[in-house]
């Protein structure tokens, strides 16, 4: 089969690989019909995630058709069209039993601090991902869901991660009616977080980024006010001014390890890998939220320690909430919201690349060229 | 003198927010779906440690996937988890470093991660060398064609992050230049030794 393959930082290509096989009785093999590149893939692409091995196939956002099932699979049949949450999870461990699907203890021998994720290095279990023609899907009775007839494929693929994470991020913010919510980052995750903040009763939503097409999207798709941090010497001071010097009630950090806006953080993080990513957005969140407020972090960081202003977080009495998204837990409610038009994930799709052009897709998405907000990947066999 | 009552003092310094948020009716009229998840106790991720829906699992503990080679694992785990990825088994010098890092240091130790990062660079070098002997040699970076086809310059106009995009070529090409330099010095030394 054809598959995206990592060759080292900033280097990927498409290679011929064997079609994955059933390795466990509850496995399924899925033929991928549509995949996407996530902001998280950029952390791998830039070489920031330890134990990203050469030859690894990325991709944790995908939908497809069941091609083969293992002997113990009961809920899926060959030919089913499925959407697959980015988490690999068993459904039965202490954590899964409590709905912490992203923190499953039975799927990642390499680390206890993170669960299983498709195509996300050996630090999350060593599973090849879905930017390929076929992918191995463990625990087929637990993760995948048949795509509802009414659902658009592009909504379905975004619900497997980016959209679910935006919605989850807003929930982590513990938004109360009338709250002023600031969303850092107008990528796919931040845009859906902004839409979701309204559903939870926000009185004001302000999205911060510096890419014009994304800020425009935040205004049209999420009805948000926007701030371009390039326009200010210090965007946090501007946030304070705009919130009557209180700061925001809730800040949702949807940027993560590639965060921009501070050269020292950029150099020590993404460029030289001396810390688990740049902590600029995280520090802006801590500084920009009001005392006693909540910072919800969905931006992702590597396991190497970061230069975070923890003392300020303590002194301000903040609530910090965060996790990888337990995707499937969000779905029943999100399906309603998508159906009702309250959440509109596929509005963010700007580019569709054939799998063979995935090196260009990564470069465009990583460097934010051509107004790219969300690139999809279409495998050749689909 | 009643300073606290002055209208020009920002909210943070007085008891109440000076500008109350728009009314819920106003917001409902303006924003599709405003408030449908208003009740904080009726949101999918709440309560954090309770989830009553059937997960689909029909086992107490999953059947174990066969372990075809000694699978490296965190020493914080009791055993190799019943299901695991088999994508790229450790091999070569990078494999030795990785196995050592897993066997010796827990996730809490910086040495664990720094060794894994070092192994990643060794892995890349090993594959690069092998690629030079193949029909598909590695290049320093991929996807660069899109700089021309997708408006590299146009897209970056006026953006502050363009500054550190300038660092990328250094980060990417640095190791290649260093390797080429080292090879050159090595060859020269050899040549001089022969003379
Ligand atoms: N927790 C999870 O389960 C989960 C799931 C998916 C994605 N993520 C993470 O969410 C983050 C965002 O993902 P995405 O797909 O939207 O990525 P993206 O790269 O498309 O978006 C990031 C945005 O942040 C902006 N930005 C950079 N520095 C900023 C700063 N200092 N302040 C404000 N904005 C800034 C960028 O211009 C960009 O628009 C990533 O870190 C990703 O790893 C987490
Ligand atoms: Zn992701
Ligand atoms: Zn589990």
Taking each continuous run of H as one helix and of E as one strand, the counts in chain A are 11, 17
Of the pLDDT bands very low, low, confident and very high (cuts 50, 70, 90), residue B57 is very high
Percentage of chain B surpassing pLDDT 70?
96
Q: What is the mean pLDDT of chain A?
A: 97
Mutate-to-test residue for ligand 1 from A104, A113, A189, A373, highest number of ligand atoms within 8 A of CB: A189
pLDDT, residue B20, reads 84
**Which of B19, B54, B85 should one mutate to test binding to chain A, selecting the residue with the greatest count of A CBs within 10 A?**
B85
Ligand nearest to the CA of A281: 1
| Tens digits of pLDDT across chain A (382 residues) | 999 999 999 999 999 999 999 999 999 999 999 999 999 999 999 999 999 999 999 999 999 999 999 999 999 999 999 999 999 999 999 999 999 999 999 999 999 999 999 999 999 999 999 999 999 999 999 999 999 999 999 999 999 999 999 999 999 999 999 999 999 999 999 999 999 999 999 999 999 999 999 999 999 999 999 999 999 999 999 999 999 999 999 999 999 999 999 999 999 999 988 899 999 999 999 999 999 999 999 999 999 999 999 999 999 999 999 999 999 999 999 999 999 999 999 999 999 999 999 999 999 999 999 999 999 999 976 6
Instruction: Using CB atoms, pick whichever of A13, A74, A112 lies closest to residue B142.
Output: A13
Where exactly are the structural domains of chain B?
1-65, 143-154+164-195
Whole-angstrom distance, CA of residue A183 vs CA of residue A192: 10
What pTM was estimated for this model as a whole? 0.96
Cβ–Cβ below 8 Å for A337 and B168: no
DSSP character at residue A352? E
Put simply, the chain B residues between 149 and 178 with a CB less than 8 A from any chain A CB are 149-152, 155-156, 158-161, 163-165, 167-168, 171-172
Whole-angstrom distance, CA of residue B77 vs CA of residue B111: 18
Chain A CB within 8 Å of residue B106 CB: no
A124: nearest CA partner in chain B: B85
Q: Which two tokens stand for residue A345?
A: 């994930």
The predicted-structure confidence for A243-266, as pLDDT tens digits, reads as follows 999 999 999 999 999 999 999 999
pLDDT, residue B1, reads 41
pLDDT, residue B161, reads 87
Among A272, A27, A297, residue whose Cα is nearest residue A143: A27
**Domains in chain A, ordered, with CATH?**
2-161+326-378 (3.90.180.10), 164-322 (3.40.50.720)
Whole-angstrom distance, CA of residue A106 vs CA of residue A122: 15
Chain B CB within 8 Å of residue A142 CB: yes
Question: Can you tell me the ipTM of this complex?
Answer: 0.96
pLDDT, residue B175, reads 75
What number does the ligand 1 atom closest to the CA of A188 have?
A: 16
As a 3-state breakdown, chain B gives helix, strand, coil percent values, each rounded to 5, of 45, 0, 55
pLDDT, residue B19, reads 81
The predicted-structure confidence for A187-230, as pLDDT tens digits, reads as follows 999 999 999 999 999 999 999 999 999 999 999 999 999 999 99
Ligand nearest to the CA of A100: 3
Chain A CB within 8 Å of residue B26 CB: no
In Å, how far is B181's CA from the nearest CA of chain A? 20
């Amino acid at each position: 089969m054809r598959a995206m393959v990592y060759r080292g930082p900033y280097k990927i290509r498409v290679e011929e690989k064997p079609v994955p096989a059933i390795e466990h009785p509850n496995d399924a093999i899925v033929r991928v019909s549509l995949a996407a590149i996530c902001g998280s893939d950029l952390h791998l692409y830039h070489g920031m995630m330890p134990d990203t091995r050469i030859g690894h196939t990325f991709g944790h956002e995908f939908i497809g058709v069941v091609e083969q099932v293992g002997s113990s699979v009961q809920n899926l049949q060959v030919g089913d069209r499925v959407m697959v949450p980015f988490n690999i999870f068993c459904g039965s461990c202490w954590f899964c039993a409590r709905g912490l699907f992203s923190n499953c203890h039975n799927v990642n021998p390499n680390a206890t601090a993170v669960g299983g994720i498709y195509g996300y290095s050996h630090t999350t279990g060593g599973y090849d991902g879905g930017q390929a023609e076929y992918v191995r899907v463990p625990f087929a009775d637990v993760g995948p869901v048949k795509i509802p007839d009414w659902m658009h494929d592009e909504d379905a693929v975004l619900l497997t991660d980016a959209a679910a994470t935006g919605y989850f991020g807003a929930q982590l913010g513990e938004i109360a009616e009338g709250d002023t919510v600031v969303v850092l980052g107008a990528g796919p995750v931040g845009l859906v977080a902004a839409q979701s903040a309204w559903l939870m009763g926000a009185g004001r939503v302000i999205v911060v980024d510096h890419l014009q097409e994304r800020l425009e999207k935040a205004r049209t798709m999420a009805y948000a006010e926007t701030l371009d941090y390039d326009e200010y010497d210090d965007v946090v001071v501007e946030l304070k001014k705009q919130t009557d010097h209180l700061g925001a009630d809730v800040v949702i950090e949807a940027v993560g390890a590639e965060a921009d806006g501070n050269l020292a953080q950029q150099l020590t993080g993404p460029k030289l890998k001396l810390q688990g990513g740049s902590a600029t957005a995280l520090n802006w969140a801590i500084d920009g939220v009001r005392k006693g407020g909540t910072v919800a972090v969905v931006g992702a960081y590597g396991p190497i320690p970061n230069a975070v202003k923890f003392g300020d977080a303590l002194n301000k009495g903040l609530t910090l909430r965060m996790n990888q998204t337990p995707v499937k837990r969000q779905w029943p409610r999100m399906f309603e919201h998508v159906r009702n038009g309250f959440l509109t994930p596929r509005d963010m799709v700007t580019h569709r690349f054939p799998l063979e052009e995935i090196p260009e897709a990564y470069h465009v998405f990583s460097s934010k060229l051509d107004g790219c907000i969300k690139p999809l990947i279409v495998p050749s066999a689909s | 003198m009643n300073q606290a009552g002055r209208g020009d003092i920002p909210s943070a310094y007085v008891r109440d927010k000076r500008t109350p948020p728009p009314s819920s009716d106003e917001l409902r009229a303006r924003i599709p779906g405003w408030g449908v998840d208003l009740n904080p106790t009726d949101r999918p991720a709440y309560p954090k440690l309770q989830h009553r829906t059937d997960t689909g699992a029909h086992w107490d503990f999953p059947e174990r996937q066969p372990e075809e080679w000694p699978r490296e694992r965190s020493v914080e785990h009791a055993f190799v988890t019943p299901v695991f990825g088999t994508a790229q088994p450790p091999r070569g010098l990078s494999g030795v470093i990785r196995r050592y890092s897993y066997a010796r240091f827990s996730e809490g130790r910086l040495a664990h991660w720094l060794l894994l990062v070092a192994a990643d660079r060794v892995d890349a070098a090993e594959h690069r060398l092998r690629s030079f002997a193949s029909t598909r040699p590695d290049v320093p970076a991929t996807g660069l064609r899109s700089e021309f086809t997708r408006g590299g310059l146009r897209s970056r106009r006026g953006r502050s992050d363009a500054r550190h995009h300038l660092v990328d070529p250094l980060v990417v090409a640095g190791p290649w230049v260093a390797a080429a330099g080292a090879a050159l010095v090595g060859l020269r030394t050899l040549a001089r030794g022969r003379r």
